[in-house]
Amino acid sequence: MSSRSAPSSDGRPIARGVAPTAAHALRDEVLAADLADRLSYDLRTQHLALDLAVSGCVAHVTGTVPSGEDRERVRTAVRSVNGIRAAWDLVAVEGAGALAVADIGCGTTKQVPWALGVDNVAQPGVDVVTNVDDGLPFETASLDHVFAVHVLEHVRDMVAVMAELHRVLRPSGLLHVLCPHWQHVNAAADPTHVRAIDVLTFRWFCQPARRDVRPWRPRAVGASGDTVYADLQPLGDGGAQRRELARWFA
């Protein structure tokens, strides 16, 4: 199991007299070490061959594990490390084939270079040109991961878009969301933003008030001073467990 850190570019000072980029790099280095320790000292995960990195308090985990149960243990363990705000854990299961990953609203920068880039403008890196508000051209339960990084604040109907994301993800799939926090200037500075987003926005989707809204399981939901982070897994009927709602939203 190997770990490494990459400097964050979120621009927030951590300590007086320390350049933000250096402080953030040190923070991510500490988190990467904590993450490696967490997985190495757990008898259930120490044998797994995983590559670990942390950037901007987001854990990046790749590798292949023997079973879905092993993947679930990794997902839970990674998100239990204090200071990790989200986990982009592209962990495949042996014999299940390659991961299917899409990045909606990717522009020219995909979070994973080999992901299917989806955007409403044809440009380098975009593999599928479509308006997310009009639906996604993917089969039901066909994707393992979807990235929606600074996208949901732009869509006309977030409920409809979340329903489409729920549809295209496999039951074991994950949606990875980053949005500007409504209290930060970035949320208001861009006139193309059409809604304010808070951590509790995602509680609504995990415990929807409408019967026609399919629920999500919160795997990790939180916020920094400028960003809301959410890792969500599609659920069947019934909504998330009370203990998970309490863990992430209380």
pLDDT, tens digit only, all 250 positions of the chain: 666 554 343 433 333 444 558 889 999 999 999 999 999 999 999 999 999 999 999 999 999 999 999 999 999 999 999 999 999 999 999 999 999 999 999 999 999 999 999 999 999 999 999 999 999 999 999 999 999 999 999 999 999 999 999 999 999 999 999 999 999 988 988 999 999 999 999 999 998 878 889 999 999 999 999 999 999 999 987 778 999 999 999 8
Assign 121 to helix, strand or coil.
coil
List the domains of the chain with CATH numbers.
1-96 (no CATH), 99-250 (3.40.50.150)
Contact indicator for 11, 19 with CB cutoff of 8 Å = no
Question: Is the entire prediction scored with pTM above 0.95?
Answer: no
Of 219, 179, 186, nearest in space to 201 by CA: 179
Residue 139 is classified by DSSP as -
Length of the chain counted residue by residue: 250
